[in-house]
Amino acid sequence: MRVGRMMSVARHITFRKFRFQEFVTLSLKAVLERHEKGRHGPGETIMRRRVFFLSVVACAAIALLAGFFTRAVGAGDGKISIVFPSSNVYVTQPQIEVVGLVKGTAASQVRVAVKGGRAVGGETAPVVKNAFACAIELKPGINQISISDAAGISEGSSVSVFFQTEGNQKTRPAEFSPYYLHSPLKKRACEECHNLGGAVPSYKRMGPSATCMSGECHKTMGQAAFVHGPVAGGTCVACHNPHGSKNPYYRARTDAQECYVCHEKQQTDFAKANKHKPVANGHCIDCHDPHQSGTKFQLKAASIQGLCFNCHDGKLIKEPYLHGPVAAGGCVVCHNPHAANQPKLLVNEERVLCFTCHAESKARFELKNTHKPVTESCLKCHRPHGSIDPMLLVKKESELCLSCHEKLHPAVAKTIKDSTVKHPPVAEGKCVSCHTPHSTNFEKQLKASMQTICFTCHAEVGQSVKTSKYPHGPVKDNDCYACHISHGSNNPKILKNYFPDEFYTAYATEKYAICFDCHNKNIALEELTTTLTNFRNGNRNLHFLHVNKDPKGRSCKACHEVHAGNQAKHIREEVPFGSMWSYPINYTKLETGGRCLVGCHKPKEYDRMNPVAY
């Protein structure tokens, strides 16, 4: 009688989902209560003790049987879970497929309850290899979908799905996120994709023949020249959820997190100070096709440059002068397309980067005198992509130079702008005809010694200097600046001070200011002297005789070479007269005077100590 009653209690406890410990506690409590009542009755007998002992043993045995039975039928451990869709999502399709798993129970079907919509196949759905699927027709608004064990012994699951229409968008609760559904399956055949072999089916493993690419669906996938690995391997589920997802295109993860599952090294590489905007936003597919492409790296354009110009201004390649990598479409020669520690996503520090290609120029940039912008940034003067000016300059050459030197050397800038006599290279804006913009061993950023530079254009003068016996002092000292202003002047021949162009001119000291920078300015002022000049006959000043006349005073260059000559005192070998001819000068220097044979007068001598009578 007592054993039967306890078995009834056990069944009741089991089917009401009490835990094993609760069953034992209740059983023993019932036995102990009866024993206590017996102890207070009249006289305890040996028989009562035996009954008490057998009752305890029976309770323990029944408890073990109840525990075994509970584990066998899955009571308390069974669980039903809805895998797709997620809860608190909204869709725009009127019908969805609910897919789920059953664990810890041998249930052959599940109960489907829909608050709002209805289950298309009825209130139950079969469980096949621990999985179930059922179609749900939704009504606009919130639909509460609940799946439970048809036997009522396992824990159920539910989700809320909002069916959004044109008329109820504003009523959708804010916590509901979009859900993207794969097109409805034509048949529910889980084993076509999942590897369900073995005693316990596993839906985490895909069958080797599972692929989305068939004659009916996605048939062009995998046909391009460059195919993403998962696509080539037919493992679409590496990136996509075939049933549905909260992410567009049924992606299993959001943005770059999808890519980093495989590309872990790249995720580390991208953790740099400056990130390309698509990388920073996690939008790998802005540049890469996730499936296939006709271009290497699955780029979404026919070339790297074409891809870059999807966002960046394509006018960069329309300039008349292009940087080599730009002309060749090699943006990634200088820029990292993902991330870099350098500004502008440069692959290296600017100077190092430039010398990667311009290695032959590096030595020339490390000479004694370096142009300041070279030590700061190549981009001070050059555009990295293209320019309307040669050498990729940021401005026209002369404008570029003056943009700094107008502040650094205002007097020079004023001379260039205001001078009436222009030095041709300056007038043409060709500063680099004389100066190197990078580095040099010569002062003032000159490309070579001053004389070498000047004689590059003034070759006739250079040849004369080279072959002459007597160079003029400044020429001998390689100091063209002594007489000339290289950037421009208001005097003829870009001289620092005035000197007349005319052969004959009335004498005035200021007319020969350039000569008197070095020579005695009083040399031709006095007719008689013994100190002002050695060109005299006794005390008769022969400079005064030749120069100090009005109107036909001769200029210094009537007799003297200004650069170099083969006769003493820089006396010319010939004197130009008019435009048609010239007459010779043959000068001989004597100990206390000299002799002159010239076409303008008869041969004459002069002597400082013993005057010659004329």
Judge residue 85's burial from the number of C-beta atoms within 10 Å of its C-beta, 0-12 exposed, 13-18 middle, 19 or more buried.
buried
For the segment 448-472, what is each residue's pLDDT rounded down to a tens digit? 999 999 999 999 999 999 999 999 9
Nearest in space to 82 (alpha carbons), one of 106, 118, 114: 114
DSSP H or E run through 541: strand 540-541
Backbone angles phi, psi at 604, to 5 degrees: -140, 155
- Please report which confidence band the pLDDT of residue 597 belongs to, taking 50, 70 and 90 as the band edges: very high
Task: Report pLDDT for 492.
Answer: 92
- Please report which confidence band the pLDDT of residue 432 belongs to, taking 50, 70 and 90 as the band edges: very high
Task: Report pLDDT for 10.
Answer: 39
- Please report which confidence band the pLDDT of residue 14 belongs to, taking 50, 70 and 90 as the band edges: very low
Q: Please state, as a whole number, how many other Cβ atoms lie within 10 Å of the Cβ of residue 466.
A: 11
Whole-number Cα distances in Å, 304 to 288, 318, 336, 354: 11, 17, 12, 21
* C-alpha torsion sign, points 265, 267, 271, 275: positive
DSSP string, 270-329: T-SSEE-HHHHTT-GGGTB-SSEESSGGGBSSSSHHHHHTTTS-GGGGGSSEE-HHHHTT
Q: Are 104 and 58 in contact (CB under 8 A)?
A: no
- Please report which confidence band the pLDDT of residue 330 belongs to, taking 50, 70 and 90 as the band edges: very high
- Percent pLDDT > 70 in the chain is 86
Nearest in space to 375 (alpha carbons), one of 400, 396, 350: 350
- Please report which confidence band the pLDDT of residue 71 belongs to, taking 50, 70 and 90 as the band edges: very low
Q: What is the mean pLDDT of residues 573-584?
A: 84
Task: Report pLDDT for 516.
Answer: 95
**Does 373 sit behind a cis peptide bond, omega within 30 degrees of 0 on the bond before it?**
no
Task: Report pLDDT for 106.
Answer: 80
pLDDT of residue 570 exceeding 60? yes
pLDDT of residue 44 exceeding 60? no
- DSSP 8-state secondary structure symbol assigned to residue 593: E
Whole-number Cα distances in Å, 114 to 117, 124, 130, 134, 156: 6, 11, 22, 11, 13
Query: Who contacts 442 (Cβ-Cβ below 8 Å, separation ≥6)?
Result: 369, 448, 449, 450
Q: What is the mean pLDDT of residues 519-536?
A: 96
Highest mean pLDDT pick, 195-204, 524-533, 568-577:
524-533
How much is the mean pLDDT over the chain? 86
DSSP-based three-state secondary structure for 36: helix
Task: Report pLDDT for 577.
Answer: 77
Query: Who contacts 113 (Cβ-Cβ below 8 Å, separation ≥6)?
Result: 119, 123, 145, 146, 147, 148
pLDDT of residue 43 exceeding 50? no
- Expressed in percent and rounded to 5, the helix, strand and coil fractions of the chain are 35, 20, 40
Q: How many CA atoms lie within 13 A of 463 on its CB side?
A: 4
H helical segments located in 147-287: 229-232, 255-260, 264-269, 277-280
Task: Report pLDDT for 133.
Answer: 92
For the segment 52-70, what is each residue's pLDDT rounded down to a tens digit? 444 544 444 444 434 333 3
Largest CA distance in the chain: 185
DSSP H or E run through 113: strand 109-115
Which letter, b or e, does each residue of 377-389 get, where b requires 16 or more Cβ atoms within 10 Å of its Cβ?
ebeebbbbbbbeb
Query: CA gyration radius for the chain?
Result: 53
0.85 cut: is pTM over it? no
Nearest in space to 341 (alpha carbons), one of 332, 329, 350: 350
Nearest in space to 256 (alpha carbons), one of 232, 276, 229, 242: 276
Q: Are 489 and 421 in contact (CB under 8 A)?
A: yes
For the segment 401-417, what is each residue's pLDDT rounded down to a tens digit? 999 999 999 999 999 99
DSSP H or E run through 457: helix 450-457
pLDDT of residue 477 exceeding 80? yes
- DSSP 8-state secondary structure symbol assigned to residue 217: S
**Helices and strands (H, E) in the chain, number of each type:** 19, 30
Residue-level length of the chain: 614
DSSP H or E run through 376: helix 372-376
Q: Are 66 and 13 in contact (CB under 8 A)?
A: yes
The distance from CA 333 to its chain's CA centroid, rounded to whole angstroms, is: 11
Nearest in space to 161 (alpha carbons), one of 176, 183, 181: 176
Residues 510-514: contacts with CB under 8 Å, at least 24 apart: 511/555, 512/555, 512/556, 514/483
Q: Are 156 and 123 in contact (CB under 8 A)?
A: no
Q: Which residue has the tokens 């072999």?
A: 197
Lowest-pLDDT range of 85-94, 329-338, 358-367, 556-565? 358-367
Task: Report pLDDT for 33.
Answer: 52
**Does 551 sit behind a cis peptide bond, omega within 30 degrees of 0 on the bond before it?**
yes
- Say which residue, 105 or 221, is predicted with more confidence: 221
Task: Report pLDDT for 294.
Answer: 96
Nearest in space to 515 (alpha carbons), one of 462, 544, 472: 472
Task: Report pLDDT for 185.
Answer: 61
For the segment 126-184, what is each residue's pLDDT rounded down to a tens digit? 999 899 999 999 999 999 999 998 777 678 899 999 999 999 999 999 999 999 988 76
